[in-house]
Structure 1
Amino acid sequence: MSQDMIVVLDFGSQYTHLIKVAFDSIGVPTEIVPADLKYRDYVRDGGRQLKGVVFSGGASSVKLNEIAFDRDWLETGLPVLGLCYGHQLLASLYGGSVGKEQSEFGDTKVDVLETGELFAGVQQRQITVWMSHNDSVLSVPDAFRVIARSASGAIAALEDPKRRLYSLQFHPEVSHTESGTAMLTNFAFRICGAQPAQKWTPQAFVEQKIPEIKAFVKDRRIIVGLSGGVDSYVMTKLIRRSVDKDQLIAIYVDSGLMPTQTEFEVERFCADNDIHLQVIREADRFFGDLTGVTESFQKCRVIGKAFIDAFEVVAKQQRAEVFAQGTIWSDVVESGVTKFSSQIKPHHNVGGLPERLNFDMMEPLRYLFKDQVRKIGAYFDLPDYVVHKKVFPGPGFAIRVQGEVTRERVALVRQSTEIVEDVINNSPVSRDVWMAFSILVDVPSLGVKGDKHVKNEQAIVIRAVESTNSMTANFSRKVFPYLAEISKKITDQMEIGRVVYDITDKPPATIEWQ
């Protein structure tokens, strides 16, 4: 018996997979397909009880007409929900106009003018939503009505109930949008008439994934890249549950670019979970390869290759035929590997991989987000230092050093980050902060210490954000009371002449600077 399903046409949004996560959370299966897929090719496979269609956001402009969209999707009579780019596309296809009027990014106030069907049950007349757009709908198509506007006057929501067409300029799938889940619930159940199925749970994921891992690995040996982040910890625990002890070897590569405590934590984790660990000392190789490299994308590629080279050496020594790494969906999306997405940055374990590998690759967490990975860790009863581990970039401190990466410059950003983390992690707001760290900017700073001018000291930027899955983030206001203490400790203890705080959300900025 087929389940009710909603299909998501992916126009390249960084948040497309969040749409799936949101619908999964309310028990509605979804399928993501490229936006240029023809309707007849989709239904040819059969076996689906399709109840509705979602047009995702995207990096392109409707005015450029870069994506070949099949209008047969609109002739099905199925309810359609357009989000961001999809909102503008619907308006354009039905005779409205789209153009550059008012860009909006991040938290934005929206006035609900009519409850309509999408906003049924939403009590507030003004809500905070997550915007990320340059173009706007300038004129309303016939038979559509405006049911919400942003504070700037931009058309934030449209609906045509007779033709069952609905659109939102903002992203209800993003956790920052108030009542976003209610809007998607209204679309799925009230408008589409879908029947709920099983919701995503960590237990269901693990029970499904273990047999898949067993079938993939078989009796072969497998090495896992254990970086010390929550993704790699949870992945390693999942694989350990799936294979015999002697099949699995965890590899920690000492790149010289990681926090001081990481190796100790990795050793503790492997000892507690009965996992073979091999530590590879490669700091000289990493710093040597990074000599003269200043461009951030190239840093990731260099680091990715150095990691893979190290893993391939161990795989050959151990006669391992399978390699696993803790890639998650935000890594994939930001690396621009979906059909219409834009590359934000090449993650070292996605954009840095060579085309040919000497082992079979496995990424069991690839389609999950960080908050889901943490739930799996909690399901495994992993300790707090794993489940609540602050996010740290795989390429390490190299991408928090602007300009050339040297041991001395990495030491500066490591020490300043330890000061930031020591203050924040010992404060009442620690659990509210997704990441708190420092960036060594390539700008000299004139200072005054001991009644003397001090030339060419370094400048440090402090970045602290709040997020649930790293796809969106707000700079943290909760750390304001602690910034003076952080600044004083850094300038007192280090050759740093200036400390500043980054007050930019994602979007428009990324969380990391590089």
Structure 2
Amino acid sequence: MQHRPSDWILILDYGSQYTQLIARRVRELSVYCEIHPFNKDLSDFKDQPPQGIILSGGPKSVNDEDAPGLNTEIFGWDVPVLGICYGLQILAHVEIPGSVEKADRREFGRSDLIVDDSTDLFQNIPQESVVWMSHGDHIKELSADYEIIAHTDNARVAAVRHKQKQLFGVQFHPEVVHTVYGKQIVRNFVNKICKLEGTWTAQSFIESTVEEIRERVGDARVLCGLSGGVDSTVVATLVHKAIGDQLQCIFVDNGLLRKNEFQDVLDLYEEELHLPVKGVDASDRFLDGLEGVFDPEKKRKIIGNIFIDVFDDIVEGDNDFKFLAQGTLYPDVIESISFKGPSATIKSHHNVGGLPEEMNLALVEPVRELFKDEVRNVGRQLGIPDHFIKRHPFPGPGLGIRIISDVTKEKLDLLREVDDIFISELRQQDLYDEVWQALAVLLPVQSVGVMGDERTYEFTAALRAVTSVDGMTADWAHLPHPFLAHVSNRIINEVPGINRVVYDVSSKPPSTIEWE
């Protein structure tokens, strides 16, 4: 499904690790935007062109033989363009090939920006402020059609503006928090230059989405696979609001859920959210399919395929079911699609790359263009209880990708107990809402321990908790040491089979939140 409003920003991705942050900054202004690869076929937007374009940064030099180019068709739209880092350099390179060269001194990290013209892009920005640089090339020659509007001690051309057209470029990254007035710069471009007012809200999204679901589905019935998480629950509530009893929710026990989760969540769906839901125990089917499988991508594919098989079996002989609704999010899409040249595929998601190529049901993915915090806002607007909205993300493949080896019932039972202790202690110590996501991982590592003067040789459990806004970037949560010590002590004493607990202190990037 596509929920693109008439006023929107197109972000062309040149492979920057910060591209998703550009989208976050734009959406924080209640303006819709989409990320597409730099070589996207622009004819896809001919019926609804964007009101502004942002060219992201990227790891290449514009002088590289395989450097991503610029589709100059964007100038035919006659809308404002903002080039960031590589985006600025490709604008300069298109005007004068060879105008960009390797700098004598690279510029990475904080730099002092001096604004030479605060008319538009730098309106309400101090003449001197700190920005975040990340470039090895610089512009040695600027077309006479452009004028410099900011500089640094190291970069004569730190920001430019076209004299006749609404073309702008900055050598630094306004989207990162280290650029002190970065949000204001993005606001100036989006609100003042592109003249977008910011009308894209949770309520407007709900209204347009409900209408689109009704139009697409018609009189057909929709099957919704519930995972017990926020995303699929918001999807089910949206679809239910749109088509009522034409929806049938299925909550499948795949054997990979957390302790007591199947019955607890089923009760919540029926008693609090009043969704039409049917519980199906297919745990043996999933465990049989995962037997002996170690590779995480194969696990995701197998789990995705079995989910579809289960749904197909449920609707077999019932021709009224035509659609499958699921909670695919924008980060799922971004991390699952490899843009040729720039951003690499990080992992497939069972919602995106883990589905079989041929299915008997067409997909309905109402929140496919939303980040996690936006989904939560939509859920609150729909009246879903806040205690449920605040639930930590839980992957569709469940504990299957938190066992870093082959999946067995015995290992699942071990991990369920570890996870239950960790999450329950977070809640009890009022730390649950302080972190974005917390999880436990069973490692394929056994080590020697001593319990009751006897030698043990048992598994290691890893605990992970992160802070984040949307899951695209995350930092490890600095939980109190006494808390971690207490949790570790409980796990080792209460979970036979675990004799060692470690805590993950890596951030995303370079790591991911989940281990697989």
TM interval, shorter chain, is: 0.7 to 0.9
In 1: Cα distance, 2:157 partner to 2:383 partner:
43
1:91 offset after TM fit, Å? 6.6
Q: How many residues align?
A: 493
2:38 is aligned, of 31, 35, 38, to 35
Contact 2:325–2:365 at 8 Å: present in 1 too?
yes
Cα displacement string for residues 443-469 of structure 1 (whole angstroms, at most 9, x for unaligned residues): 222223223442x32112211111111
**Does residue 1:379 correspond to 2:381, yes or no?**
yes
DSSP 3-state at the match of 1:410: helix
In terms of mean alpha carbon deviation, does 93-102 or 359-368 score higher?
93-102
- Tell me what 1:222 maps to: 222
In terms of mean alpha carbon deviation, does 80-89 or 286-295 score higher?
80-89
In terms of mean alpha carbon deviation, does 427-436 or 336-345 score higher?
336-345
Cα displacement string for residues 94-145 of structure 1 (whole angstroms, at most 9, x for unaligned residues): 62235999898xxxx623332455555456977696x9x7xx3244433568
In 2: Cα distance, 1:511 partner to 1:238 partner:
28
Query: What amino acid maps onto 2:283 in structure 1?
Result: A
DSSP 3-state at the match of 2:316: helix
- Tell me what 2:510 maps to: 508
1:417 offset after TM fit, Å? 1.5
- Tell me what 2:475 maps to: 474
1:361 is aligned, of 357, 360, 363, to 363
Contact 1:158–1:168 at 8 Å: present in 2 too?
yes
Contact 1:83–1:170 at 8 Å: present in 2 too?
yes
DSSP 3-state at the match of 2:231: helix
- Tell me what 1:112 maps to: 112
1:65 offset after TM fit, Å? 2.2
CA distance change for structure 1 residues 487 and 103 in 2, over 3 Å: closer, same or farther? farther
- Tell me what 1:401 maps to: 403
In 1: Cα distance, 2:337 partner to 2:232 partner:
22
DSSP 3-state at the match of 1:419: helix
Cα displacement string for residues 362-409 of structure 1 (whole angstroms, at most 9, x for unaligned residues): 111111111011001111221123211111111001111111111111
Contact 2:85–2:171 at 8 Å: present in 1 too?
yes
In terms of mean alpha carbon deviation, does 266-275 or 359-368 score higher?
266-275
- Tell me what 1:447 maps to: 449
1:166 offset after TM fit, Å? 1.9
Query: What amino acid maps onto 1:9 in structure 2?
Result: L
Cα displacement string for residues 77-96 of structure 1 (whole angstroms, at most 9, x for unaligned residues): 86542335535645766622
In 2: Cα distance, 1:196 partner to 1:271 partner:
42
**Does residue 1:249 correspond to 2:248, yes or no?**
yes
Contact 1:113–1:125 at 8 Å: present in 2 too?
yes
In 2: Cα distance, 1:87 partner to 1:478 partner:
41
- Tell me what 1:11 maps to: 14
1:56 offset after TM fit, Å? 2.3
Query: What amino acid maps onto 1:238 in structure 2?
Result: L
In terms of mean alpha carbon deviation, does 475-484 or 28-37 score higher?
28-37
In 2: Cα distance, 1:213 partner to 1:489 partner:
48
CA distance change for structure 1 residues 122 and 394 in 2, over 3 Å: closer, same or farther? farther
In 2: Cα distance, 1:354 partner to 1:271 partner:
34
1:15 offset after TM fit, Å? 5.9
1:479 offset after TM fit, Å? 4.6
Name the TM-score, length of structure 2 as normaliser: 0.84
- Tell me what 1:388 maps to: 390
Cα displacement string for residues 137-171 of structure 1 (whole angstroms, at most 9, x for unaligned residues): 2444335687469xxx9x79921235553235546
In 1: Cα distance, 2:351 partner to 2:49 partner:
34
Contact 1:54–1:80 at 8 Å: present in 2 too?
yes
Contact 1:458–1:496 at 8 Å: present in 2 too?
yes
In 1: Cα distance, 2:347 partner to 2:229 partner:
19
- Tell me what 1:330 maps to: 331
- Tell me what 2:136 maps to: 137
CA distance change for structure 1 residues 428 and 97 in 2, over 3 Å: closer, same or farther? farther
Q: Which runs of 5+ in 1 are unaligned?
A: none
DSSP 3-state at the match of 1:309: helix
- Tell me what 1:428 maps to: 430
1:471 offset after TM fit, Å? 0.8
Contact 1:3–1:29 at 8 Å: present in 2 too?
no
- Tell me what 1:166 maps to: 169
Query: What amino acid maps onto 1:438 in structure 2?
Result: A
CA distance change for structure 1 residues 279 and 176 in 2, over 3 Å: closer, same or farther? farther
CA RMSD of aligned residues (A): 3.5
In 2: Cα distance, 1:177 partner to 1:269 partner:
44
Contact 2:49–2:77 at 8 Å: present in 1 too?
no
In 2: Cα distance, 1:424 partner to 1:231 partner:
22
Contact 2:229–2:393 at 8 Å: present in 1 too?
yes
CA distance change for structure 1 residues 72 and 382 in 2, over 3 Å: closer, same or farther? closer
Query: What amino acid maps onto 1:287 in structure 2?
Result: L
Percent identity reads 33
1:440 offset after TM fit, Å? 1.3
Query: What amino acid maps onto 2:68 in structure 1?
Result: I
Query: What amino acid maps onto 2:190 in structure 1?
Result: A
- Tell me what 1:208 maps to: 208
In 2: Cα distance, 1:20 partner to 1:233 partner:
24
DSSP 3-state at the match of 2:380: helix
In 1: Cα distance, 2:310 partner to 2:67 partner:
41
Q: How do 1:297-308 and structure 2 match up within 5 A?
A: 297-308=297-308
In terms of mean alpha carbon deviation, does 460-469 or 486-495 score higher?
486-495
DSSP 3-state at the match of 1:490: helix
1:434 offset after TM fit, Å? 0.4
1:22 is aligned, of 25, 32, 50, to 25
Query: What amino acid maps onto 2:467 in structure 1?
Result: E
**Does residue 1:260 correspond to 2:262, yes or no?**
no
In 2: Cα distance, 1:420 partner to 1:157 partner:
51
1:296 offset after TM fit, Å? 1.0
CA distance change for structure 1 residues 490 and 185 in 2, over 3 Å: closer, same or farther? same
